[in-house]
Structure 1
Amino acid sequence: MTKYTATTFAPVQGFIEKSRKLRDLYGASLILSYLSQQLVKEAEKTTTVISPARANLQKGMPNRILIKGEFSKAQAEETLLSAWKRMLHECRTWIEWKLPDYTYHWEREWINWGNHAWEIFWGEGDSIKAAMEDLETCKLSRGWTAVNWIGESSSLTGTDGIAFPGLGGVQRNPQNRQWTIEKDQIKTFYKRLACALENRPPDAEPEGNFFDLNEKLSIPELVKRLVTLPEIANQLEMSKLESFSEIYRGPEAKNDQGKGRWTGWFMGDGDEVGKHLKELAELENGDEQLQKFSQAMRNWGKDFTRDFPQEIGRVVYAGGDDFLGVIYREKDQEPITANQAFAWLTTLPQTWEKHDQKIGLSVGFVWAGTSVPQRDILQHCREAEKLAKSSGRGRVTIRIVFNSGQYVQWTCPWDYLNILTKYQDRENQSNWSHIYQDLAILESRRAFNLDKKTFVEKFAIEFFNIYFPDEGQQLLNYERAKHLIGFSEEDDNYERSKATIDWISDLIKVGWHLSN
């Protein structure tokens, strides 16, 4: 009887999340794709890989692998860890070669990270469905080994130890280490390493392409940066960045008139892909259908990355049905506006449909203030995407995040997103200040507080109808309102009314900020 194997590894989201610079995101994506590709290539030597398709295309390689045949957990672990350890070895030896006048005590710490950074999950069965279900059961039981840390903290995560030549020294312990001296040593080391990466003299001032002057990275964080260096990528036969620049968000450019720049971030994921894969697996020709699906999504990710308009941003990764991108403009260009970012967002459903597969799309879109930390932006993206899914899927949650950390958000199905373009004020113009000010006055007077007043919902809809002529009627139709707002059939009248009022209020607040 034919055996099927399903395998994946972790942490994936956590590995991507620990990112401050755009280079971190790219590096994390390159590493994950590279590790997945090594698993696929090894499995292809003795079995048939059903998905992911196109093993020769490293970028955007999904990390969930389905195999027709037997591929043991021990094989998967050996393949993954060997590839990871080789990557660590190349990065470590490159540093030691470029900065040979240091005495390095850190080899053991690199070995520890080589052994304990990843966990393999593995499932097997007599059918594709059985293997996939066994994999999910395996993922419920997780093991993790902490890497030794004696007190100093990476400036990115705040937890992992800082990678520098003295890390792992036998005389170094919490009782006798001299942090003041080490702090200066670490600062000097990272400055010299930055110069080496930028091909500048050791005593020069680095431009900050790889490190900010105040950064102190852990070993995995350092590796993310180093694999974006073509020299190291070539040694590992990894995909490499042909050109690279960080997102400009600062106020230094003349065009910004002393103000920083807002940026747009979008994170998307196919809807109920796992369910769809199980349905395909149960077909008589399940192997073939799954291969076709994987091929279609891999092609879509490649085309999406290639065809994304470079004048408005870039795609960080597109692993089939899972993608992340940024909307921004280069330093010497005029800043992109929220309205321009929204205009692109409205075209995403048509781009998504080019894969011609029967799965929908949920997206979290974040328009972020000038000084919102990138780590926080990514968290907002994940939360926004999760909200889009939990509200009924096939939607987008737009979240406006201010420098204070506060935000406003609104969730809408893709087929009604153009409602924001139908706004007209009392002069038949598109000045959102009118409706925004009216809303503020009404909310200050508690006009939309339900307090068991059944007429409040209708009042809110009538108010909405003034600025969006005839659109309020859709909210009076139960089925249509359920689709647009995302409330469930279990919600009572009070909950539905509150959801309707909140949806109208959120639409106005988000629409006003997007118009400015």
Structure 2
Amino acid sequence: MSNHLFLFTISPVQSFISQARKTQDLYSGSQLLSHLIEIAIDKLEKIDSISEVEIIFPFKDTPSKPNRFIAKIITENPQGVGEILEKAIQEKFKQLCNDRFKDKPGFTSIQKSFNNQIENFLEIFWLAIPFEENYFSTFEKIEKYLGGVKNIRAFKQLPEKGRKCSLCGERNVLFYKDRNSDDRKRNIDSYVSVDKKDYRFLTGEGLCAICATKRYYDTKIESFPSTARIGLLHALHEIKKKPEGYVLIENYKKIFGSQFDEQLYHKENLNKKYFEKHDLKESISKLKTIQTQQNLIANYASKYNIHLAKYYAVVTFDGDSMGEWLSGEKIKNNLVNLESFHRLISQKLGDFSKFAINILKAPNYKDIAIIKNEYFGKTTYAGGDDYLGFVNLNYLFQVLLSLKTKFNDMVNQTIKNEFELNNPEDNFTFSAGIALAHYKTPLSIALEWARNMQKLAKKVEGKDAVGFALLKHSGNIAQSVLKWNYHELKVETMVLAINLTTALKNHLSNKFLYTLREEFLHLIDPKTKIKGLYKEIQSELFRLMNRHIKKKNTNGALNVAVSTNDPDLDVLAKQLSDLIVEIDKMSLESLDAFNNFISFLEICNFISRET
């Protein structure tokens, strides 16, 4: 038997996961792909024609598996191994999909079309190459061959005519929730009628086999919180701290039973039109009672200065220069060290992925108690060097700081301690994209903005950056891209964001921000650097921040005081002044330095108001 390097991948990934109306769709898509890779790895280890298997990447204990794995296998029939795995995954995927619907009335009438969609969806690629003189050259060759195979992939045509899926828009509708008893003329030849009480479908929504499977993937999986719930996590916890608040919340939820959704905490949704659209027709007769109960909750929240937030953050990040790291380009003696490097990086990324999931579960900060295992938000996917999750705005900067710090400690520093790098100044980093969105913003738009900001962050020289997009419900968008750390700043960017947000929330008026913007907006050419105005901007920043300090008057209300000296604000003003200089050194064609800086201030100000 001979030694082979074996690579196995499942596609598509991004489109399958991101085509989602609900957060549950997103979560189920990522979990399903991860589950299929786990099945493939498990099957590989049980094939009789293989005498030995070593999984190199990913680390076997990684909770969310990526869509590929690399292994060393000893076998005389590598082609047979690949064919067995491909067939096993296709059959398992078909079984998983069929099991969700086989007992539904009318399923047999669409089963042929259903299986056609399922069988033509997954794209599975695998390669097996005999080991050459070393792991380095074999890995280099298998990656090159994989790229070639994907470039000449076979085209599968699925001839379908009719109404397309509400989520993906690619395949025909096979599951449809009727608007009324006569709603049958929808250009759909044959479909399964979804029960009107099935809250997983909106009235009039139609899904294909793939998207319906995501929607129904596994009833055992804990329901993924909606964007409205993510935004309200902190507020609900604060309200439920006291018995009075707890009773208000529980009594309100009982009105709706299993159809309750956190959007119902917001007054704008308590109307007949919303109830009809979301299949709450039975509650329309109780609308006045519901509005009264919601008003009691709103008044209770206002009494204790609790904000019923409507915004949340979607966070995505990806390792920088992963191709260079995995190819061994950045480490010395890569001909000898690449395999051990891959094993170490696989293990450490697996360890970090566990932390990335648990950071949103486990209380790392004081005064945060459990809310059904949700503390700061919920992770959708954490594969090690890539991540997707939803975070409550109250904890956004703290969570980002923890993720960045732990990635450096657990992954980067371990690599630098274990392996000698060609350039000792190199660091294994990641760049992130964050979108702050209203709960009514379509999920696909929020995801697109988060990924766009991640791409923009990766255009920063040296990367190791983070991009923010604030998507206001009014339509206005603020964008800011920053490095995680600036050597000259002597404070981490997220720490600076936390300090500024805290100051704005407590004693600093946001008037300084708007005044600064108005004063300099027309003095700075967006196409040039602002270096010539450093001193003027810095001097005005100090003056405005000290001028616009809030203090309590005799009635306890906050007013703006004039020319009040605050040592802490002087430190903060100095840090912000230094940040302007550092931002100006960055080169981003689509985002000029001054607007980048002002947008950062606006985002911090927005979070201070929404938390």
Which category of TM-score, normalised to the shorter sequence, fits these structures? 0.7 to 0.9
Correspondence for 2:586 among 480, 484, 487:
487
Deviations, residues 455-511 of structure 1 (Å, cap 9, x unaligned): 45654454445545333664687xxx3xx45635xx9xxx79x84323322222222
Shift of 1:79: 2.3
TM-superposed deviation, 1:312: 1.8
Q: 2:446 and 2:503 mapped to 1: Cα distance?
A: 36
Q: Which residue of 1 aligns with 2:163?
A: 152
1:244-283 maps to which residues of 2 (within 5 A)?
244-248=224-228, 251-253=263-265, 254=294, 255=297, 261-279=310-328, 282-283=334-335
Deviations 1:18-47 (A, max 9, x none): 011121112111111122123323333425
1:105-116 alignment runs, 5 A limit: 105-116=109-120
Distance 1:475 1:293, change over 3 A: closer
Tell me the residue number matched to 1:195. none
Paired residues of 1:420 and 1:511 also in contact (CA < 8 A): yes
Q: Is the 8 A contact 1:384 1:397 kept in 2?
A: yes
Identity of aligned residues (%): 20
The equivalent residue for 1:119 is: 123
> Which ranges of 4 or more aligned residues in structure 1 deviate by more than 6 Å?
183-188, 257-260, 424-429, 451-454
Distance in 2, matches of 1:120 and 1:428, equals 51
1:408-419 superposed matches below 5 A: 408-415=478-485, 416-417=492-493, 418-419=495-496
Distance 2:207 2:536 in 1: 55
**Counterpart AA for 1:52:** F
Using the TM superposition, give the Cα deviation of residue 410 of structure 1 relative to its aligned residue in structure 2, in angstroms: 1.0
Residue number in structure 2 paired with 1:132: 143
User: Secondary structure at the residue paired with 2:436?
Assistant: strand
Give the conservation status (yes or no) of the 8 Å contact 1:270–1:322.
yes
Gaps of 5+ in 2: 133-137, 230-261, 266-293, 300-306, 362-373, 416-427, 486-491, 546-571
CA RMSD of aligned residues (A): 3.7
Q: CA deviation at 1:270?
A: 1.7
Give the 3 Å change call, closer, same or farther, for CA 10–408 of structure 1 in structure 2: same
Structure 2 CA distance for aligned equivalents of residues 247 and 425 of structure 1 = 24
1:217-275 Cα distance to aligned partner (Å, 9 max, x none):
11111111222223xxxxxxxxxx25654343554223457977211111111222221
Q: Residue 138 of structure 1: SS of its match in structure 2?
A: helix
After TM superposition, the structure 1 = structure 2 runs for residues 429-444 of structure 1, keeping only pairs within 5 Å, are: 430-442=507-519
Against the structure 1 CA distance between its residues 91 and 216, is the aligned structure 2 distance closer, same or farther, given a 3 Å change threshold? same
Asked if structure 1 preserves the Cα contact closer than 8 Å seen for 2:10 and 2:67, the reply is yes
Equivalent of residue 388 in structure 1, options 457, 460, 477: 457
Match of 1:11 in 2: 12
Larger-gyration structure (1/2): 2
Aligned residue in 2 for 1:287: 339
Name the amino acid aligned to 1:487.
M
The separation in 2 between residues aligned to 1:87 and 1:298, in whole angstroms, is 25
Q: What SS does the corresponding residue of 1:104 show, helix, strand or coil?
A: helix
- Kindly indicate whether the alpha-carbon contact (under 8 Å) linking 1:123 and 1:138 is maintained by their aligned counterparts in 2: no
* Whole-Å separation in 1 of the counterparts to 2:434 and 2:479: 10
Q: Quote the offset at 1:7 in angstroms.
A: 3.2
Q: Match of 2:525?
A: 449
Contiguous gaps of at least 5 residues in structure 1 = 167-177, 193-204, 231-240, 329-337
| Count of residue correspondences | 457
In structure 2, what is the Cα distance between the partners aligned to 1:121 and 1:426?
53
- Distance of aligned partners of 1:108 and 1:184 in 2 relative to their CA distance in 1, 3 Å threshold: closer
Q: Say if 1:186 and 1:506 are closer, same or farther in 2 by CA, change over 3 A.
A: farther
Q: Who is 1:508 aligned against?
A: 601
Q: Against the structure 1 CA distance between its residues 451 and 340, is the aligned structure 2 distance closer, same or farther, given a 3 Å change threshold?
A: closer
Tell me how far apart the structure 1 counterparts of residues 504 and 115 of structure 2 sit (CA, whole Å).
Answer: 69
Q: 1:141 to 1:61 in 2, by over 3 A?
A: same
Q: Distance in 1 between matches of 2:79 and 2:19?
A: 27
Answer whether contact 2:228 2:439 (CA < 8 A) is retained. no
Structure 2 Cα separation of the partners of residues 19 and 273 of structure 1: 27
Pairwise CA distance, 1:124 = 5.2
**How far 1:162 sits from its partner (Å)?**
0.8
- Tell me, in whole angstroms, the C-alpha distance in 2 between the residues paired with 1:153 and 1:508: 43
TM-score by structure 1 length?
0.76
What SS class does the counterpart of residue 191 from structure 1 fall into?
coil
